[in-house]
Structure 1
Amino acid sequence: MLCQLYEHEDLKHPSSAEMEVPTKIKSKRLQVLRRSRIPGDAEGHSPRSDVDQEALLPPHLRSRLYDLFGQMEREFEALYADNLASGHQISQRLKLTYKTSTSKIVSSFKTGAATCRLVREFRGHRDGVWEVSVSKTDPQVIGTASADHSARIWFVENGSCLLQYVGHSGSVNSLRFHPSQDLVVTASGDNTAHLWKCQVTKPPFVEQPAPKCHSSEDEIDSNEREDTDGMESSDDKIEPTYIRQPSMELLGHSSVVIAADWMPGGNQVITASWDRMAHLHDAETGEIVSVLSGHDQELTNICSHPSQRLLVTASKDTTFRLWDFRDPSMKVNVFQGHTQQVTSAVFGSNDLVVSGSDDRTVKVWDLKNMRSPITTIRTDSAVNRLSVSANNTIAIPQDNRHIRLHDMQGARLARLLKSNRQGHSRMVCSVCWSDNEAATCDLYSCGFDRHIFGWTIKDTKE
């Protein structure tokens, strides 16, 4: 079309810049029309010189030029409209594809590989429960640490409280059982850790009816149940024995002791504090054997390896550290990958470490290659003190009252019940697996709602 214009010797070739968009075409047409006005026209223009008159296009060419530019303008406008329509169609197609693929992913997640049932409820604490632990000796008992300044030992078979430790003057933040003896270490907000005896005998059996509830991935959450702050706790079936004095008091920290654990063999105790340090104590004398420093902010948790002289410390500085006491120089490795405070780091089998964070992720690390996680599990809420079972199933307690189960590859297995009648009504602070195959419960959980629950987990693939 344009070549017909260029054949006329008096018509200049328009530049490419003048033809980029329809607005520029319109502007160019107006310029051409102004150059082709008749001298002395109705708009009052003065007559042009002889040179200008010779430069004017003949009327038939001027008319033809006007028609060609009009066609060009219409073609550009049509092309522009087609592009808009095509872009909208592509956008809608992408949205539909994304929605379909996302639905398939969500559906695959909802097909859980495990079912969970609540079978025990332990009640008696008068404030939030920070941690739950399972004894490695018989009879089958669990321990809990609470903000009500007490720690309790519970008999699993009937949910009765057997012992109540009241030796701390601050919140009890952690409780861990000795690997082979009837001893417990508790960490407290009073800047100390206490060792105390928890020797118990099997009490007379008092049957506790199991709560009737069942959890599956297709279950829909209902509204939160009523606030339980002012609710009086139910009377214990058996009056607990009170312990008021520790066997040993571990001193040395200048701030809150947030967690404590036993080193393999039980001859040493490790404590973690908000003073940014961890202390290794002799369990018989209480003497500080080593001070572990390096974190930039407060420690949030500590965990020792069940069989090797390894431990991990989690911190608010977004990292966790692996301390290797097998090396005479005590090798330290810093794990970086979280964007907010690391709330938990625990050992799994096969040289794996699992970390959880307030950044709503859980990461699985291989100690043989510690540069980056081998798995990242993304959740919808902050993660608290998690636990890994003997078969490497990760139980993830969260601020949003959920407890989720995943495998080490990140596949979602199940979600434990959260409703207005059963399950936790506030954030879940800690979970702990029982690896005893004959145990009444497979998993225990505790939360800020003061409740401790025992769950059975059944693998639907079996």
Structure 2
Amino acid sequence: MSRSEPSFDDLRSYFRSHSKIREQRAHISKVHSVFWNADGRFLASGSFDKTVAVYSLERDRFQKHHTFRGHTASVDQLCWHRTNPDLLATASGDKTVRIWDVRQGKCASVINTKGENINITWSPDGKTIAVGNKEDLITFIDTRTNKIRVEEPFTFEVNEISWNNTNDLFFLTNGFGCMHVLSYPSLEHQVTLKAHPANCICIEFGPTGKYFATGSADAQVSLWDAHELACLRMISRLEWPVRTISFSHDEKLIASASEDLIIDVAYTETGERVTDIHVEASTFTIAWHPKQYLLAYACDEKDPERRRDAGNVKIYGFSE
């Protein structure tokens, strides 16, 4: 696609000829999380099988690069350093956070935490990792020392966490359909935003910093102005709780997925559907490439007894 700003019609036309899927199997059980690194050369996935897989992407070639082992429980979520393309962090039920160096092919640090970790995010300035556990305790790790800086307990169900792009606000989604916005680094409460009438499950900030979005058990995606903290529109085509959302590199597209057998790809400016990706099972993790219209995703096991789809990671958006 040309470097000029793509219109809705441009994007619809583009995906008519770029709907091919590449697939890799690197795990033996369900994939919980997929995430691209900063320069888009590597994709990582974390699995119930306790491993972390890293794949390389060169032109149209999508292949397994390395498997990291060391966690003793499920790897529930992972994230890359925002600017260093070789550093990857993982959150696990084994009560640790691990930082992996892809260039060296090994674990660079293990940080012990107090509970079974379920979500993780890396600050935009690269200095802090925040990890949340099943007891709704958020632990902030100083990545210059790999030591815990502060632990912050919450009295409500925390589903997902994120900094804004300017690193001065910290967001938490909760079980009452709200987003709690804290100042950072003071962690003082600023405002509670009512986003949905049901459980607010996931949150994602767009790469350019213009938008952020939340997904909810009400089967809707709410799109927000990141500067005004004002809701702009709702996207309401899925029928099941929205488990995962992702913005494209230019924020022109937002993808959302659930237990529906499609991944919805919407035009951010209007909420109109650009395309949908048909899948064979529930999809709980998706991630757009940081430079191209390539969407990575992983589905649940289509047939749990035969485990035919367990461990598969796919990328949509290659030319036919």
Coarse TM-score class (shorter-chain normalised)? 0.7 to 0.9
CA distance 1:307–1:337, shift in 2 (3 Å): closer
Cα distance in 2 between the residues matched to 1:360 and 1:199:
40
Cα distance in 1 between the residues matched to 2:287 and 2:44:
10
**SS of residue paired to 2:95:** coil
1:144 to 2:3 alignment: no
Contact 1:363 1:376 in 2 (8 A): yes
1:356-385 C-alpha deviation (Å, 9 max, x unpaired): 012100001224444x62211112222112
Counterpart among 312, 323, 327 of residue 171 in structure 2:
312
The structural deviation recorded for 1:331 is: 4.4
1:265 to 2:145 alignment: no
Q: What amino acid is the match of 2:243? A: N
Equivalent in the alignment of 2:67: 164
Contact 1:430 1:446 in 2 (8 A): yes
The structural deviation recorded for 1:319 is: 2.1
Contact 2:120 2:129 in 1 (8 A): yes
Equivalent in the alignment of 1:341: 199
Equivalent in the alignment of 2:8: none
Equivalent in the alignment of 1:194: 98
Q: How does 1:252-401 map to 2 (within 5 A)?
A: 252-254=113-115, 256-297=116-157, 299-325=158-184, 328=186, 330-348=188-206, 349-370=208-229, 373-378=231-236, 379-392=238-251, 393-401=253-261
Q: Which runs of 5+ in 2 are unaligned?
A: 1-10, 302-310
CA distance 1:329–1:164, shift in 2 (3 Å): closer
**SS of residue paired to 2:244:** coil
**SS of residue paired to 1:301:** strand
The structural deviation recorded for 1:457 is: 7.1
The structural deviation recorded for 1:355 is: 0.1
Contact 1:274 1:300 in 2 (8 A): no
1:366-407 C-alpha deviation (Å, 9 max, x unpaired): 24444x622111122221121112322101112123111112
278-287 vs 168-177, greater mean Cα deviation: 278-287
State percent identity of aligned pairs: 18
TM-score, normalized by length of structure 2?
0.82
1:430-454 C-alpha deviation (Å, 9 max, x unpaired): 11111324xxx62111122332111
Number of residue equivalences: 291
Cα distance in 2 between the residues matched to 1:135 and 1:367:
23
Contact 2:33 2:45 in 1 (8 A): yes
The structural deviation recorded for 1:112 is: 4.9
Counterpart among 435, 443, 447 of residue 299 in structure 2:
447
Contact 2:249 2:291 in 1 (8 A): no
* Bigger Rg, which one: 1
1:105-151 C-alpha deviation (Å, 9 max, x unpaired): xxxxxx9565251231111211111111111147x110001111111
The structure carrying a bigger strand percent of its residues is 2
The structure carrying a bigger helix percent of its residues is 1
Cα distance in 1 between the residues matched to 2:232 and 2:318:
26
Cα distance in 1 between the residues matched to 2:267 and 2:29:
32
Cα distance in 1 between the residues matched to 2:113 and 2:193:
27
Q: Which runs of 5+ in 1 are unaligned?
A: 1-110, 201-240, 419-423
Equivalent in the alignment of 2:28: 126
Cα distance in 2 between the residues matched to 1:171 and 1:410:
35
Contact 2:36 2:290 in 1 (8 A): no
Cα distance in 2 between the residues matched to 1:350 and 1:368:
8
Contact 2:165 2:209 in 1 (8 A): no
Equivalent in the alignment of 1:31: none
The structural deviation recorded for 1:307 is: 4.5
Q: What amino acid is the match of 1:428? A: T
CA distance 1:376–1:280, shift in 2 (3 Å): same
Q: What amino acid is the match of 2:214? A: S
Cα distance in 1 between the residues matched to 2:113 and 2:76:
17
Contact 2:97 2:113 in 1 (8 A): no
Contact 1:263 1:309 in 2 (8 A): no
Equivalent in the alignment of 2:290: 435
The structural deviation recorded for 1:253 is: 2.8
The structural deviation recorded for 1:170 is: 0.9
The structural deviation recorded for 1:153 is: 0.4
Cα distance in 2 between the residues matched to 1:122 and 1:306:
31
Contact 1:176 1:185 in 2 (8 A): yes
RMSD: 2.5
Equivalent in the alignment of 1:37: none
CA distance 1:377–1:274, shift in 2 (3 Å): same
CA distance 1:309–1:412, shift in 2 (3 Å): same
